[in-house]
Structure 1
Amino acid sequence: MQMLPARMAITCAVVDRDRRFLDIDVRWPGSVGDSRVFSNSPVGRLHASSFSSASGDSGAGLLQTGWFEYRKITFFLLADSAYANSKHVVTTYEIAETQRSVVISKLNRKLAGMRYCVECAFRAAKMRWRLLSKPIEIARTNLKDVPTLVSSVCILHNFVIDEKDEVWNPELEQRHREFYFENYLRLTNEQRCTENQVETSKTRDAIQHWMQYRDSVRSS
């Protein structure tokens, strides 16, 4: 999930691992904060109920955070630290937070690696359609047409990806993909347990506890 600034407008977008735009909202002036834009967008209003319904009683999986302790993980959106961290929105950490412990620093690198495809999506869109890399001129005279223009570019961006008509250098793209997959946070559930589950209000906290337990087992 990411924001794309334009002249007097800001775009809230959800991107998948293939750099495709899944949802966009281009209705807010650039002076509005990211969290407010997201909370008032369709995804911001509906993501919690949609993910809860999709997860069901068992959730997306269980993470073992102790010898006899498991934490249920729900489906979630991954965003940067400008957003509010919650059960269904996992954000990267602030720089000051990463200095508190090695585990948080390692987790933040994993989350940043997962978000790499988001950065790629916006960079690819800006490279192919230069109008996004500078203030949109149409906003000077007709601001109401900016959402239609940006939305159209995002649709064309998805079409180009689906048709595999890329602007990327193949070797550079391969390095990008290797970096992404090496840093992809894998939530493995080799052992599932229906008992001794600990509820947590924020998914990122559960992932952090899982990493702490995993590292302690590896070092023992």
Structure 2
Amino acid sequence: MSLLREIALETSSSEDEIEVEYVRNLQNRKKKVYFQRTNRFLTWDENSFLDRFRVSKTVARVLALKLEPFLLPPTTKNFAITPIQQVLIALEYYACGSFQRCIGDTAGVHKSSVSRIIYRVSRAIANMRQEWVSMPQNVQEMEKTATRFYEISAFPKVVGAIDCTHIPIKSPGGEHAENYRNRKLFFSMNVQAICDADMYITNIVARWPGSSHDSHIFNSSVIKGRLEDGEFAGYWLLGDKGYAIKPYLLTPLRDPVTDGEKLYNESQIRTRNVVERMFGCWKKRFPALSMKIRTDLRRVQPIIVATAVLHNICKKMRDPVPPARIVDDDSSDEEDPAYEVNRNDENNRRMLINNYFNRLHR
């Protein structure tokens, strides 16, 4: 029995009526639209390209070449989107955080393809994290890092500055949505980062909702375990008052009295300030981090980590700093500590003040 006859029996219609309806539906089907895609490397000069994509043409080409094995389409038919076109779509999203339909109209791609491309490219870049985002690996690297920190304000043996920043996101919805509302009442991811004196990101944790306290994120992180295992013995992280004092993490004194204590606080704050400047530089290059990331929650983390990797790549390749855009970055969230100071953990700070800063002041 033919398919038309089976359908006719089920619908009480004749085979001719079914065939006519089928032909009519084919004629009324929406025709597939192919957007025109221009070569944006040729369209824009170097400065205009940097302003629109926040990286130079050189970095974009190197990135596309690096990611080509992961982005190659299975076929060249049907106007397949090339790796370099996919990279530019993702970079444009990081650069403006615009609606994906607008990016698709500019790139000549449907918005559904834009969404998939941003996720695919972000994951591919984020997978380069181990190569581009890492703490010092040996004593020589730790000593070099400490020397660069010492040049800022004479604070010794610093291996990194740590802090958290809020990345705004759209409401994730569901019963746990309010977990992502931070103290400033907008939805966000609270992202922990460690950087060195040259503002390279050396560690990043981008999986906690905006309501999470900075110290809770640190206490749950892998880097804390590495510090407690003595991997960076003899060196310190510097943090703000939102963290508890630890043998490996030094924070400012709440009420400095002596000249040595005041000098310690001044040096600690000036040296730690590099992480605040790093956040500013990171978000200046990729303004989407300061705006609301309008994508599904599961796709937010790859975007954040990908931009951290790109930040380090741009610094390594001495990429020009893109023109500033007016972005209201109200993401700093230093908090009062929710803990009591452990006197044993404070010994290192007290010894450093007595044996170093008191003498330095004289």
TM-score (norm 1): 0.67
- Shift, 1:115, TM fit: 1.3
Unpaired runs of 5+ residues, structure 1, are 56-73, 170-198
Mapped to 2, the partners of 1:23 and 1:168 lie a distance apart of 24
Change (3 A) 1:103 1:168: farther
1:203 to 2:348 alignment = yes
Summarize deviations over 1:21-79 as a string: whole Å, max 9, x none.
Answer: 1110111111010000001011122212133xx54xxxxxxxxxxxxxxxxxx211111
Summarize deviations over 1:88-115 as a string: whole Å, max 9, x none.
Answer: 1111233xx13x3332221111011111
AA matched with 1:81: K
AA matched with 1:44: K
Cα pair 1:88 1:202 within 8 Å, conserved = no
Helix, strand or coil at the partner of 1:50: coil
AA matched with 1:114: T
Cα pair 1:11 1:24 within 8 Å, conserved = yes
Please provide the CA RMSD for this pair.
2.2
Mapped to 2, the partners of 1:83 and 1:130 lie a distance apart of 28
Task: Specify the alignment match of 1:14 in structure 2.
Answer: 194
1:42 to 2:202 alignment = no
Change (3 A) 1:134 1:34: same
Instruction: Summarize the alignment of residues 159-198 of structure 1 with structure 2, pairs less than 5 Å apart.
Output: 159-167=313-321
Helix, strand or coil at the partner of 2:204: strand
1:134 to 2:279 alignment = no
Change (3 A) 1:213 1:114: closer
Summarize deviations over 1:166-186 as a string: whole Å, max 9, x none.
Answer: 4189xxxxxxxxxxxxxxxxx
TM-score (norm 2): 0.42
Percent of aligned positions that are identical: 24
Change (3 A) 1:106 1:26: same
- Shift, 1:136, TM fit: 2.3
Change (3 A) 1:20 1:215: closer
Runs ≥4 in structure 1, deviation > 4 angstroms? none
Cα pair 1:4 1:12 within 8 Å, conserved = yes
Mapped to 1, the partners of 2:322 and 2:269 lie a distance apart of 21
AA matched with 2:258: S
AA matched with 1:83: Y
- Shift, 1:86, TM fit: 1.0
Task: Specify the alignment match of 1:112 in structure 2.
Answer: 269
Change (3 A) 1:130 1:200: closer
Unpaired runs of 5+ residues, structure 2, are 1-161, 169-187, 324-343
Mapped to 1, the partners of 2:304 and 2:314 lie a distance apart of 15
